[in-house]
C-alpha cells in the first residue's frame, strides 16, 4: 500500500512540475475558462508547441482567428504566477483603444471566471492597464508610441521607466517602428529578456514577415491517415492545389503525397526550415491549416474574381503581400534604363537630389537629372559621395539650377551649403499636413511637401517609364534595389481613425537612392520656368 501512495504523490508532483514550466499544460489541465469557451486541445493541436516554449524571441505570423492572442496572454499570466517573469511583462497592443478594449472585455472576464487559477494571483492597482501578479507588474500598453511614450523615449536614456523581463507585441505590424528600441530599453537589465511577436502579416520584408524570415521558420504539417506522410496546406504550392471541389460542391483537403482526402488533422508537427536556429523561433499558419475552417467558403472566396485577394492572402492565409502598384520592382526600374552611360559632367541645366546619411553621417546619395523633350526627365548621374565640397563641385560641373537635399540629419551644414548657392539649394522637410504642390520658401531656402505625395510623384515617373535612367551598371543595380526597398501601406491615424497611405522605409535594406530620386524629381518638377528665361 505504501508504494501506491508514493506513486500517486509522485505523479501529482510531476503534474505540478509540468504545470509550473509549461503554460499550455497548465491552461489545459486547469480547464481555463475563456470568454465563450474552455481552453481545449481539439482542433488546436498546433498551439501546444508555441505555448510550451520560451525562446529569446518567438514569432507568430498567422491568419486571423488562430487564438494566438489567448495563448500569449495565458503564457504571460502563467509565467508571472510561477515566477518566470519576476519583475514584469509588457503586453503591447497597436493602439490605446485596443488596450482598453482588451482590458475590459477579455482580461477582466479571465480573472473573474478563473478565480482559483488566475484571479487569486492578480492584485488590482489604480490603473486598469496595470496589474500586480506575483512579484511583478503586468503593463498593458499601446505600441503606437503616442506622445507619452515618445516623450518617455526621448527622456528615457533608454533605461529609465519601468523595467520588465518579457514583452509581447500583439499585432506587431501596426506598431511604431521605434517600438523595438523602447522594449529593448525596458528589458535591458533583466537576466530573462524574452520577446514574443504576433501579427497578421502586411508587407513583405516588413514587421512580422521580416521577423519570421530571420526565425527558424516553422510550418505546420499534418499527417495523412492513409499514407502517414506529412503535408503543409499553407504553402503556396499547396493552396489551393490540394483543395478539391467534389461533385456535390463541398470542398475537401487531399494529401500532397497519395491524393486521398485528409479528414483527421489531429496529428501534426511543426517543421522548421532553419533547423539550427534556436534563439528566434518562428511559426506560421493560416486558415488552410485550421481544422475548423469552412473549406468551401475559403475556396469560393479565393476563386471569386471580385474578392479582395490581398486581404485573403494577408488575413486568411497569413502571408505578406503587396499590390504591385505599391512597390517598385527591380524590373520596373531597369525598364527605365536607356543606352547612355553615366556622364562625368553636363552643360545642364540640371537638377540634383541629395539624400543625407547612411552608415556615415557625411555620406550622400546623389541623383542628377535634366528635363527631357519627350519623357519627364533623364537621370545623367548617380553616385555615393563623401564630403560637402563634392556637392559644391557638382553644382558647377553639372550646371545645377535647383538642388533639393534633405534637411536632416546634418541641418547646419545643409544650411551653409544652401547659403553658398542662394536660391538654388533647398532643404527638404516633410509635413503630413501639407497637401498639394510643394511649398518653396525662397527666402529660407526650404521646401515643404507631403511625403506620400512627393514619393508618389517619383514612383509614378519610374513605374510609367517617364524617366530615363543610365544604362545598367553596378551603381544602377544598387539604385534599383534602393527603389525596391520602400513600399506604400495603408495606415490608420490613432487619434482620428482616418486612413492614409504612407511609404514604409528600408524594407529589407537601405533606400537612400529612392529618396535622392524623390528630391531630384521635386527639384525638376518644382523649378519654375521663369527662373531659366526659356532654357528649361
**Site residues, Zn ion (CB under 5 A):** 224, 226-227, 255, 257-258
CA distance 113 to 116: 9
Q: Provide the minimum distance between the beta carbon of 249 and Zn ion in the complex, in angstroms, as a whole number.
A: 24
Nearer to Zn ion, 256 or 407 (CB): 256
The closest alpha carbon to 28, from 212, 330, 304, 19, belongs to: 19
Nearer to Zn ion, 257 or 309 (CB): 257
Place of cell 509550473: 20
Contact indicator for 85, 166 with CB cutoff of 8 Å: yes
Q: Provide the minimum distance between the beta carbon of 41 and Zn ion in the complex, in angstroms, as a whole number.
A: 24
Q: Provide the minimum distance between the beta carbon of 258 and Zn ion in the complex, in angstroms, as a whole number.
A: 3
Q: Provide the minimum distance between the beta carbon of 226 and Zn ion in the complex, in angstroms, as a whole number.
A: 5
CA distance 207 to 172: 7
Nearer to Zn ion, 224 or 403 (CB): 224
Nearer to Zn ion, 226 or 309 (CB): 226
138: which residues sit within 8 A by CB, 6+ positions away?
A: 76, 77, 80, 88, 89, 91, 130, 131, 132
CA distance 404 to 351: 8
Beta bridge partners of 532: none
Nearer to Zn ion, 151 or 257 (CB): 257
C-alpha cell at position 248: 456535390
Q: Provide the minimum distance between the beta carbon of 243 and Zn ion in the complex, in angstroms, as a whole number.
A: 15
Nearer to Zn ion, 266 or 471 (CB): 266
The closest alpha carbon to 69, from 34, 45, 38, belongs to: 34
Task: Mark 1-10 as b/e (b = at least 16 C-beta within 10 Å).
Answer: eeeeeeeeee
Q: Provide the minimum distance between the beta carbon of 260 and Zn ion in the complex, in angstroms, as a whole number.
A: 5
Beta bridge partners of 204: none
CA distance 156 to 259: 58
Q: Provide the minimum distance between the beta carbon of 463 and Zn ion in the complex, in angstroms, as a whole number.
A: 45
**DSSP per-residue letters across 66-79:** --HHHHHHHHHHHH
Nearer to Zn ion, 257 or 420 (CB): 257
Nearer to Zn ion, 253 or 316 (CB): 253
CA distance 130 to 109: 16
- Judged on CB neighbours under 10 Å (0-12, 13-18, 19+), 443 is exposed
CA distance 390 to 217: 46
**DSSP per-residue letters across 84-146:** SSSSEEEEEESSHHHHHHHIIIIIHHHHHH-TTTTGGGEEE-SSTTEEEETTEEEEEEETT--
Tell me whether the omega of the peptide bond preceding residue 172 falls within 30 degrees of 0, making it cis.
no
Nearer to Zn ion, 241 or 257 (CB): 257
- Provide the 8-state DSSP code for 531: G
Nearer to Zn ion, 234 or 332 (CB): 234
Nearer to Zn ion, 225 or 456 (CB): 225
The closest alpha carbon to 482, from 511, 519, 517, belongs to: 511
Q: Provide the minimum distance between the beta carbon of 294 and Zn ion in the complex, in angstroms, as a whole number.
A: 23
- Provide the 8-state DSSP code for 247: T
Q: Provide the minimum distance between the beta carbon of 316 and Zn ion in the complex, in angstroms, as a whole number.
A: 25
Q: Provide the minimum distance between the beta carbon of 231 and Zn ion in the complex, in angstroms, as a whole number.
A: 8
Q: Provide the minimum distance between the beta carbon of 252 and Zn ion in the complex, in angstroms, as a whole number.
A: 13
Nearer to Zn ion, 85 or 239 (CB): 239
Amino acid at each position: 500500500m505504501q508504494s501506491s501512495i508514493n506513486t500517486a504523490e509522485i505523479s501529482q508532483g510531476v503534474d505540478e512540475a509540468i504545470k509550473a514550466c509549461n503554460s499550455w499544460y497548465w491552461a489545459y489541465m486547469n480547464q481555463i475558462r475563456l470568454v465563450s469557451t474552455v481552453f481545449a486541445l481539439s482542433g488546436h493541436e498546433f498551439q501546444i508547441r508555441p505555448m510550451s516554449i520560451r525562446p529569446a524571441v518567438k514569432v507568430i505570423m498567422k491568419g486571423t482567428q488562430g487564438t494566438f492572442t489567448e495563448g500569449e496572454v495565458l503564457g504571460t499570466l502563467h509565467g508571472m504566477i510561477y515566477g518566470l517573469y519576476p519583475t514584469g511583462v509588457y503586453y503591447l497592443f497597436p493602439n490605446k483603444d485596443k488596450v482598453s478594449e482588451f482590458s475590459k472585455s477579455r482580461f477582466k472576464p479571465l480573472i473573474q471566471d478563473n478565480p482559483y487559477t488566475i484571479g487569486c494571483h492578480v492584485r488590482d492597482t489604480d490603473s486598469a492597464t496595470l496589474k500586480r501578479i506575483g512579484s511583478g507588474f503586468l503593463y498593458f500598453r499601446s505600441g503606437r508610441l503616442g506622445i507619452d511614450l515618445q516623450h518617455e523615449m526621448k527622456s528615457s536614456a533608454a533605461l529609465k521607466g519601468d523595467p520588465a523581463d518579457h514583452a509581447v507585441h500583439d499585432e506587431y505590424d501596426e506598431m511604431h517602428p521605434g517600438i523595438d528600441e523602447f522594449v529593448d530599453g525596458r528589458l535591458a537589465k533583466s537576466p530573462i529578456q524574452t520577446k514574443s511577436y504576433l501579427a497578421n502579416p502586411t508587407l513583405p520584408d516588413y514587421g512580422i514577415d521580416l521577423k519570421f524570415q530571420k526565425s527558424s521558420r516553422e510550418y505546420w504539417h499534418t499527417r495523412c491517415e492513409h499514407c502517414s506522410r506529412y503535408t503543409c496546406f499553407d504553402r503556396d504550392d499547396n493552396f489551393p492545389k490540394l483543395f478539391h471541389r467534389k461533385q456535390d460542391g463541398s470542398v475537401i483537403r487531399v494529401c500532397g503525397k497519395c491524393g486521398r482526402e485528409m479528414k483527421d488533422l489531429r496529428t501534426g508537427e511543426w517543421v522548421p526550415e532553419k533547423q539550427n536556429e534556436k534563439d528566434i523561433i518562428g511559426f506560421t499558419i493560416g486558415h488552410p491549416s485550421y481544422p475548423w475552417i469552412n473549406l468551401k467558403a475559403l475556396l469560393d472566396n479565393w476563386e471569386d474574381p471580385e474578392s479582395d485577394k490581398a486581404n485573403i492572402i494577408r488575413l486568411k492565409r497569413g502571408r505578406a503581400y503587396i499590390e504591385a502598384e505599391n512597390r517598385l520592382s527591380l524590373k520596373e526600374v531597369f525598364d527605365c534604363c536607356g543606352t547612355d552611360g553615366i556622364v562625368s559632367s553636363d552643360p545642364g541645366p540640371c537638377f540634383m537630389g541629395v539624400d543625407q546619411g547612411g552608415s556615415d553621417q557625411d555620406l550622400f546619395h546623389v541623383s542628377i537629372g535634366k528635363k527631357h523633350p519627350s519623357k519627364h526627365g533623364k537621370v545623367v548621374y548617380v553616385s555615393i559621395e563623401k564630403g560637402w565640397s563634392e556637392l559644391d563641385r557638382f553644382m558647377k560641373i553639372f550646371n545645377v539650377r535647383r538642388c533639393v537635399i534633405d534637411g536632416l540629419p546634418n541641418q547646419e551644414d545643409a544650411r551653409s551649403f544652401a547659403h553658398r548657392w542662394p536660391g538654388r539649394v533647398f532643404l527638404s522637410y516633410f509635413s503630413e499636413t501639407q497637401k498639394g504642390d510643394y511649398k518653396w520658401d525662397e527666402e529660407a531656402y526650404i521646401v515643404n511637401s507631403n511625403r506620400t505625395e512627393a514619393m508618389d510623384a517619383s514612383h509614378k515617373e519610374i513605374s510609367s517609364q517617364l524617366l530615363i535612367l543610365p544604362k545598367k551598371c553596378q551603381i544602377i543595380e544598387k539604385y534599383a534595389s534602393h527603389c525596391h526597398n520602400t513600399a506604400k501601406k495603408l495606415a490608420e491615424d490613432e487619434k482620428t481613425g482616418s486612413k492614409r497611405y504612407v511609404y514604409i522605409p528600408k524594407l529589407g535594406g537601405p533606400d537612400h537612392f529612392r529618396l535622392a530620386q524623390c528630391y531630384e524629381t521635386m527639384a525638376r518638377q518644382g523649378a519654375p520656368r521663369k527662373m531659366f528665361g526659356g532654357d528649361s
